[in-house]
Amino acid sequence: MYRHTVRRAKAWASWSYPDRRMEERDCLQCVHCQYTWFVELGSGKERGWCTGCNGPTCGAKECYICVPFMKRIEEWENAERFAAAVGLVPK
């Protein structure tokens, strides 16, 4: 039976090998960039927790500042609309 390694896993992966060995792991996803990784207890990889979003972060420098992923997408869309409105990109 599989034993979860984190309380609030974003996903769970399961796969089998040709020798019939099966591997299962929990996954987490960064609340700022949506990077997804396998949880490896004791790996020494530095991850974080955003208290503003109440979720895990991947540890990348870009994700130290709290900018939720949907807000980032909205900023990209607004920049694209602005560029089209002033004629910087063809419509």
Q: Which of 17, 22, 28 is nearest to 2 (CA)?
A: 22
DSSP at 62 = G
> CB 58: neighbour CB atoms within 10 A?
20
Note whether 15 and 22 are within 8 A (CB): yes
Q: Is the pLDDT of residue 70 over 60?
A: yes
How far is Cα 55 from Cα 37, in angstroms, rounded to an integer?
14
Residue ranges covered by each domain of the chain: 11-85
pLDDT at residue 8 tops 70: no
- How much is the average pLDDT of 22-46? 86
Across the chain, mean pLDDT equals 83
